Amino acid sequence: MAAAIKKLFSGKDTSSAPQETSSFNVVPRVTLPKLENSPRILIIGAGSRGRAYAWSIATATNGTVVGVAEPDEYKRKRMVQEHNISDELVFTSWTELVGEHKELVMSRVDGVCVCTLDETHEEIVLAIRPLNLHILCEKPLSTTLESCVRIAGAVSDPELPPVVLAIAHVLRYSPHNILMKKLVCEDKLLGEVVNVNHTEPVGWYHFAHSYVRGNWRKKETSAPSLLTKCCHDIDLLLWLLCSPSAAATPHLPSTVSSSGSLVHFRRSRKPAKAGNATNCLSCPAEPDCTFSAKKIYVEKNLNQMNMGWPVKIVVPDIEEAHSMDAAEAMLTQKLAEDYGREGTMVNGEQKSYYGRCVYETDNNVVDNQVVTISWDDDTSASTSGAPAEGRGAKTATLNMVAFSEKICERFTRIYGTKGELEADSNQIRIYDFETGVKKTWVPSTDLLSGHGGGDSGLAKAFVGAIDKVKNEAWAVDRAQREVVGVTVEEVLRSHAAVFWAEDARVNRQMLEWGEWWAQNVEV
């Protein structure tokens, strides 16, 4: 298996530079033993993200999934079966945790994973906080800057016992990015970093699914796509450039500018042949439409034997179908649903219609955006007037684009004074200016974990921090810094930087970090 995968990933470099390639290895998935005092985790929200973290906790850590809160009966029962959860800790709503079952939860649970819709995070985290349970929150922390500030304040409340906070900025936890930061910030193979160019290719049908038809299509009911899709990309850039050393104070950015818009998914781009059709299954232009729901969900995925994402988002219980014909019938029935003048609100909740024409939805988030962040020389601790190592002027650019073949297979270019780095989701290449040698690293990969191993890496950090506090008497602050690897202050800073960049885009301005922070965060 390992040899086959190594062959698959070890492509030939056609450059003229001499080559060196590091060894490749696949992380074996061995379930860790569950000790008597192992961390006990309850999952709030048993959708795709909740299920992913539950699976990572169960298979990659010494923690145990002991409870679930989920209103959807199918999702709730599925998680109960997968993790053998006792009936005592099975809830239909998170509100039960802070109500009549509060004492039970506090005695039987060490931490919770908040994996609900983004706009619900604040209410849940603030209600859970007095229970003094450790918290892993799916990204983003919340959908507005004010809400993020309130959550950070509640978690850090000095009147309550401290708790661990992990945020699902999973890019920090993938073996690929951990190695990339080591090569750049610790081994300093590039010298001083001058410029970073990072691209998030969302993927043409992923964007149509999630940000045109799906839950994150409208900033008023969710948030800007820069936050919902790329907050961990902004976090990755700040992780590399603000905190090159864990011991140093952060080198804060200076300015930001941003541009972007909703270019394609709007009524003016609708094919004339489609006429007044609003659903793909009854549209005369469907056979010729790239973004046809029938093509994306039925032909491209279900007919290729994929019942996972994105099909399971449309029909969560599709795996219960007794045949492929039955599965297609379930999926087609769901795709045929549409809405009229009543809009997308159903029983007070926003509903997604995955068969809806992409040119006729109520979406308004941008489908492409560029963010440029700059840092000035930091000479505050210098006697010579030169910036300290890692604290020189530099620029980072994030490019988020919907229209790509690759789906979330990010690629990064880092330019330094001694070398140049190229990284994709599988390999890291560094060209050394002095020796003329280009060396390639293929990081260890957990092929069963999402985000290149980032999901399992985050689960390991969260459960590991709880374990240190619970069983080794570590202070929460130490576990937060050394095991989770990010402070509450850094979590807030990364989210604030997204709102900073979005303000720059909306107002078509270059904004100063210090002034903006004082006006929008410190108040």
Per-residue pLDDT at 32: 64
Q: Report residue 194: phi and psi, to 5°.
A: -110, -40
Specify burial of residue 251 (Cβ count, 10 A radius: 0-12, 13-18, 19+). Answer: buried
> Quick check: 39 and 133 in contact, CB under 8 A?
no
| Model pLDDT for residues 340-389, shown as the tens digit of each residue | 767 776 776 778 899 999 999 999 999 999 999 999 999 887 777 788 88
Sign of CA dihedral 343, 346, 348, 350: negative
186: left (phi over 0), alpha (psi -120 to 50) or beta: alpha
| Model pLDDT for residues 454-467, shown as the tens digit of each residue | 899 999 999 999 99
DSSP state for residue 443 in the 8-state scheme: -
- Cα–Cα distance between 477 and 84 in angstroms, integer? 33
User: Residue 369 belongs to what H/E stretch?
Assistant: strand 368-375
> Quick check: 430 and 18 in contact, CB under 8 A?
no
* Secondary structure class of 181 (helix, strand, coil): helix
Query: Locate tokens 């904004």: which residue?
Result: 511
Per-residue pLDDT at 9: 31
- C-alpha closest to that of 403 among 249, 204, 112: 204
Mean pLDDT of 430-447: 91
| Model pLDDT for residues 128-187, shown as the tens digit of each residue | 999 999 999 999 999 999 999 999 999 999 999 999 999 999 999 999 999 999 999 999
Using the predicted structure, report yes or no on whether residue 213 has a pLDDT greater than 60: yes
- C-alpha closest to that of 225 among 366, 39, 86: 366
Q: What is the dihedral of CA 32, 35, 38, 40, to 10 degrees?
A: 90
- Cα–Cα distance between 330 and 345 in angstroms, integer? 22
Q: Given pLDDT bands bounded at 50, 70 and 90, which one contains residue 6? A: very low
Mean pLDDT of 480-498: 96
- Cα–Cα distance between 491 and 165 in angstroms, integer? 9
And the tokens for 63?
A: 């923690």
CB-based contacts of 279: which residues, under 8 Å, 6+ apart? 335, 336, 338, 353, 355, 356, 357
- Cα–Cα distance between 269 and 238 in angstroms, integer? 36
* Secondary structure class of 428 (helix, strand, coil): strand
Mean pLDDT of 14-39: 57
Per-residue pLDDT at 248: 76
* Secondary structure class of 317 (helix, strand, coil): coil
And the tokens for 256?
A: 């930001």
And the tokens for 482?
A: 């050394």
pTM of the model: 0.91
The strand pairing partners of 416, in sequence order, are 193
- Cα–Cα distance between 443 and 51 in angstroms, integer? 26
Using the predicted structure, report yes or no on whether residue 436 has a pLDDT greater than 70: yes
* Secondary structure class of 154 (helix, strand, coil): helix
- C-alpha closest to that of 417 among 407, 437, 432: 432
Domains of the chain: 40-168+455-486 (3.40.50.720), 192-265+364-416+493-521 (3.30.360.10), 267-350 (no CATH)
